[in-house]
Structure 1
Amino acid sequence: MKKNNNNKHAFMIMARDADINLRMLLKSLDHEDNDIYLHVDAKAGIIDTTGMVEKSSLKVCDRINVNWAAQSQVSAEMLLIKAVISENIEYKYIHLLSGNDLLIVDHDKFHNFFKNTNKQFVDIESIDEKINVRRIKYYFPLQELVGKKHGVLWMLQKVLMYLQIVVGVNRKTSLYNHIAKGANWFSITLNCGIFILNKEKEINKYFSKGQSADELFLQTILINSEYKNDIINNNQRYTKWNKGENSPEILTMNDLKSIEESNKLIARKFDYKVSSNIMKKLTETGVD
């Protein structure tokens, strides 16, 4: 029996550490209608979440080691979705955030935005781009170790990929009419989250050992499903990119005006070492 409170939202956070950046994010989210589900990379060791929130419910999920562009990213997301669904609460929306995000509007504005919609706010950057099809067509068994480094293991994995091309490996990408890629941060309805969780075996079969599959699996599953017409290609995140970079720019006070004019709900990426002033301002006042 579901606990019926359709005003509540579930925020799933994937954080690298329980640091000041996470504390500032939790401060921005702290509200009686916001339940928080937290995954902190197991590599961070023992964490203490005491006093991080006052009004929200905060649950720390089972923790695993998470590595860049690797299967563990997908696994951590699925752990969070599973934790949300297992609570049996009728959430209005579930949101995936990084530990370097901040809510940039007040809670009333945030909740009102989702009050009369059932759309899926998912970023879709490209569809059927050759490089992205390749990332799940072949296996990348060393990605957990490779990370962002272009060293010996990266070269070895590239050789393994070309060997797979030669012998004709194809992980049945024809199962999907389209392969879609986008940022892995999203806001989706509870029913959509349940739909994704019910696809877990399929996700493990066709996206496991992929490369950057965390940017492919949810978009691809949804665009090939009955949810395709419900997708709004705008995940309501403000992000600033430098062309050719793998990670977004760190936001500072110089970005405040752009954030205020963005009409977005959440922003990333913040780092307290250089973003302290803007983080303090946003968590104290939000964007009017």
Structure 2
Amino acid sequence: MRKHAYLIMAHGSYEQLGFLISLLDHEKNDIFLHIDKKSSFSKLDQQILQEKVKKSQLIFVPRVAVYWGGYSQIEAEMSLFRTASQHGDYCFYHLLSGIDLPLQSQETIHSFFEQHLDKVFLTMMTLEGDKENIDRLKYYHLFGRLTPRTFPGVFGKAFFKIYRKTEVVIQKLLRIDRLKRDNLTPIKAAQWGSFPQDIIKLVVASEKQIEQTFQHSFIPDEVFIPHLLHQKGLLGRLYDDSLSYNRKEDFQGNLRYINWWDGNPYTWTDKVEDSNTLDEARMLGYLFSRKFNVLSSPKLKAKVLEWTASGNT
């Protein structure tokens, strides 16, 4: 029996997380969960989540304190990749956030991936229109915990911009260019994706190289896997290599329907138009979506239960 590993990164919203876990509970799935070390997570929280699985194994991986934009995001992913790859053999590893939900039944999802066993599912993203996309690879970001989210409000964001500009200007004067020195290719993809076993084993085997290359990069979680695939000549295995510009008409190759055009990203609600939009996404072949808040959208929660019920397509 080919099994799947679901790898979930979460930092709260445990009722929402419990709903996600219950939808993934299947004899062909094991579920690996990373909880941000900065988040409060009690033994009771763990017990409640554990009770959501009847058919799968739920494995809690070593926790990392995650700071947006820093290398700690890769460390958390590596904790999931490493633990899952050591635990067993899986045909696919699906990286999800705790506020994702499936849009299809597990039978439909398994059947789809059985037909694409050698493919890599990432949403490749454009580098155009934002100089930071290049600078975050070209120049070092020396203080990984310092990001636009470190200090709240407009003043915090303004301070980060000033700091980052200063950091880049100094490195320009010193003629630092990591693109040339480390042979880095400006390329990025959405963090979330689905990967066959050989790709995950490659990522885990390359952990030291990844750390050396990206530990002082800004938002490196969007670049380390695409860069590794490019370096190893594996981009030809992408299920879809079209670039996403975060527009509604763009196809998202990771098969996660994420609404960037109405929000950052948009949180689905109980509005009929949201339900209809997600249903259309299902018809287009999307398997997952984010982001959800099941506490504030009980009607949509019921709809997701209907879509993901065994036998539904």
Matched, 1:242 2:280: no
Cα RMSD after superposing both structures: 2.1
Partner of 1:49: 46
Question: How many aligned positions are there?
Answer: 280
Would the alpha carbon gap of residues 260 and 226 (structure 1) be closer, same or farther in structure 2, given more than 3 Å must change?
Answer: same
2:194 aligned counterpart, secondary structure: strand
Partner of 1:116: 115
Would the alpha carbon gap of residues 26 and 284 (structure 1) be closer, same or farther in structure 2, given more than 3 Å must change?
Answer: farther
Cα distance in 1, alignment partners of residues 55 and 13 from structure 2: 19
How far does residue 123 in structure 1 lie from its aligned partner after superposition? 1.1
2:26 aligned counterpart, secondary structure: coil
Cα distance in 2, alignment partners of residues 150 and 161 from structure 1: 16
Deviations for 1:160-214, whole angstroms, at most 9, x for unmatched residues? 2221112112225564463211210000101011111111122111111211111
Partner of 1:27: 22
Alignment check: 8 A CA contact 2:119 2:195 kept: yes
How far does residue 49 in structure 1 lie from its aligned partner after superposition? 2.4
1:283 aligned counterpart, secondary structure: helix
1:178 aligned partner, one-letter code: T
How far does residue 126 in structure 1 lie from its aligned partner after superposition? 2.2
Matched, 1:270 2:292: yes
Would the alpha carbon gap of residues 63 and 173 (structure 1) be closer, same or farther in structure 2, given more than 3 Å must change?
Answer: farther
Deviations for 1:43-68, whole angstroms, at most 9, x for unmatched residues? 11233222132211101111011111
Larger mean CA deviation between 216-225 and 91-100 belongs to 216-225
Cα distance in 2, alignment partners of residues 158 and 224 from structure 1: 29
Cα distance in 2, alignment partners of residues 179 and 279 from structure 1: 39
Would the alpha carbon gap of residues 29 and 147 (structure 1) be closer, same or farther in structure 2, given more than 3 Å must change?
Answer: farther
Would the alpha carbon gap of residues 174 and 15 (structure 1) be closer, same or farther in structure 2, given more than 3 Å must change?
Answer: same
Cα distance in 2, alignment partners of residues 60 and 202 from structure 1: 26
2:136 aligned partner, one-letter code: R
1:261 aligned counterpart, secondary structure: helix
How far does residue 151 in structure 1 lie from its aligned partner after superposition? 4.2
1:238 aligned partner, one-letter code: Y
Deviations for 1:208-238, whole angstroms, at most 9, x for unmatched residues? 1211111111112112323111012310101
Unpaired segments of 5 or more residues in structure 1?
Answer: none
Would the alpha carbon gap of residues 217 and 284 (structure 1) be closer, same or farther in structure 2, given more than 3 Å must change?
Answer: same
Cα distance in 2, alignment partners of residues 126 and 196 from structure 1: 23
Cα distance in 2, alignment partners of residues 226 and 109 from structure 1: 30
Cα distance in 2, alignment partners of residues 161 and 127 from structure 1: 18
1:122 aligned partner, one-letter code: L
Partner of 1:146: 147
How far does residue 279 in structure 1 lie from its aligned partner after superposition? 2.3
1:10 aligned counterpart, secondary structure: strand
Cα distance in 2, alignment partners of residues 249 and 32 from structure 1: 32
Partner of 1:180: 187
Cα distance in 1, alignment partners of residues 15 and 180 from structure 2: 41
2:96 aligned partner, one-letter code: L
1:43 aligned counterpart, secondary structure: coil
Cα distance in 2, alignment partners of residues 275 and 207 from structure 1: 39
Matched, 1:134 2:135: yes
How far does residue 159 in structure 1 lie from its aligned partner after superposition? 1.1
Alignment check: 8 A CA contact 2:148 2:160 kept: no
Cα distance in 2, alignment partners of residues 20 and 125 from structure 1: 32
1:13 aligned counterpart, secondary structure: strand
Alignment of 1:221-232 (within 5 A): 221-232=228-239
Partner of 1:71: 71
Cα distance in 1, alignment partners of residues 292 and 26 from structure 2: 21
Cα distance in 2, alignment partners of residues 276 and 65 from structure 1: 31
Matched, 1:94 2:93: yes
With the length of structure 2 as denominator, give the TM-score of the two structures: 0.83
Alignment check: 8 A CA contact 1:176 1:224 kept: no
Cα distance in 2, alignment partners of residues 159 and 30 from structure 1: 49
Matched, 1:40 2:39: no
Alignment check: 8 A CA contact 2:184 2:227 kept: no
How far does residue 99 in structure 1 lie from its aligned partner after superposition? 0.5
Partner of 1:14: 9
